[in-house]
Amino acid sequence: MKTQKRALLALLYFILPMYFLAQPVLKLPQVSQYNEIKQTIGLTDVTIAYHSPLVNGRKIWGDLIPYGKVWRAGANDNTIITFSTDVKINGSALQAGTYGLHMIPNQDEWTVIFSKNYTSWGSFFYKQDEDALRVTTKPEAREFQEWLDYNFTDRLPASSKVTLSWEKVKASFTVEVDVIAITLKRIREQLRNTAGFGWHAWEEAAHYCIMNKTNYEEALKWIDKSIQREENYTNLAAKKQLLILMGNPTEADKVMKKILLALEVVDENKVNLFGYELVNENDIKSALEVFKLNVKKHPDSWNVYDSMAEAYNTDGDKKLALSNYKTAVAKAPQNQKERIQGIINTLEKK
């Protein structure tokens, strides 16, 4: 028994040093540098973590990276891609999550693989039955690039291409996001949190729907919640816009009367700015009502007449535009008179 024990200890004496020598002890620079890139599409975060090899004088495609074989699309560990929400890849659905990114290069077509296994070493332990999705893409020629990298290219509000570039080849796939659906879901979640106690968040939620021309029925409920918490010209204006979009001009006119009442206690500059917002929305009729209110409240201000004149001019009413410009120029400070008089001269020549 003692002889066996001594033999075992002797064996361990030789094996253990060899084991520890095989383990990395120091953190040293890697030949293929680690990189991580991130792009937000709407509210969706797309992150790619990879190691970037160099060409280093080698023949890459069809040699170092064989055609027709699964490749880790980088160096060292798995190349990893993460989506914070559901997406579409080249038109095919892929659930939110983290995936091992692999590729099968060929001369005319590449296969891009999103594997549910993202923790293995490279592609050495890749199994096809762990695929979440496969799509194909056409490789393209590019100028020589020494290092492999990924970039987000051809970015649009709801999509972006992910492009791998290395040596004289690039290959891309498109990530698409249903930005409106995801944003509406996020809005609903946020409105059930602390943001929902005030009026601003409900107004912002409704305004998002107005700007994107979507979800009107729910947006109307949101703006009513805002008005219940604090009625003001901002949320009333949003309700008016919604009612117009929903084809209810009669109710919109009723809300406009409430807006004018709310503006009675608002300062001149804010009323003026609101009038211009209505002009930009091509609601000249309402804009003129706002500017008239400002003239009534501030009859000695040159600026209110200047703004009302501009609105009449936009509406094509030259006579009233000239009348208000002339009142404005008479009241204006010296540094504004030349500009306003120039507009008057132009209008009189027409």
pLDDT, one tens digit per residue, over 215-252 is 999 999 999 999 999 999 999 999 999 999 999 999 99
Residues 6+ apart with CB under 8 A from 11: none
Q: What global pTM score does this model have?
A: 0.82
**What's the pLDDT band for 268 if we cut at 50, 70, 90?**
very high
**What's at 265, amino acid-wise?**
V
Q: Is the pLDDT of residue 1 over 80?
A: no
Residue 281: pLDDT band by 50, 70, 90 thresholds?
confident
pLDDT band at 4 (very low <50, low <70, confident <90, very high): low
Residue 34's φ and ψ, nearest 5 degrees, are: -75, 140
Cα separation, 315 vs 317, whole angstroms: 6
Angle at 341 between CA 335 and CA 343, to 5 degrees: 115
Does the pLDDT value for residue 39 go beyond 50?
yes
Residue 6's pLDDT band, with cuts at 50, 70 and 90, is low
- What is the token pair recorded at 274? 């609101």
The pLDDT mean for the chain works out to 92
- 9 pLDDT above the threshold of 60: no
CB contact at 8 A, 102 and 115: yes
CB-based burial label for 196 (10 Å; 0-12, 13-18, 19+):
middle
123-158 pLDDT tens trace: 899 999 999 999 999 999 999 999 999 999 999 999
pLDDT band at 23 (very low <50, low <70, confident <90, very high): low
Per residue, what are the HEC states of 137-199?
ECCEEEEEEEEEEEEEEEEECCEEEEEEEEEEEEEEEEEECCHHHHHHHHHHHHHCCHHHHCC
151-207 confidence digits (pLDDT tens) = 999 999 999 999 999 999 999 999 999 999 999 999 999 999 999 999 999 999 999
Residue 287 belongs to what H/E stretch?
A: helix 284-297
> Distance (Å, rounded) from C-alpha 36 to C-alpha 44?
16
Q: Are strands 159-176 and 110-115 parallel, antiparallel or unpaired?
A: unpaired
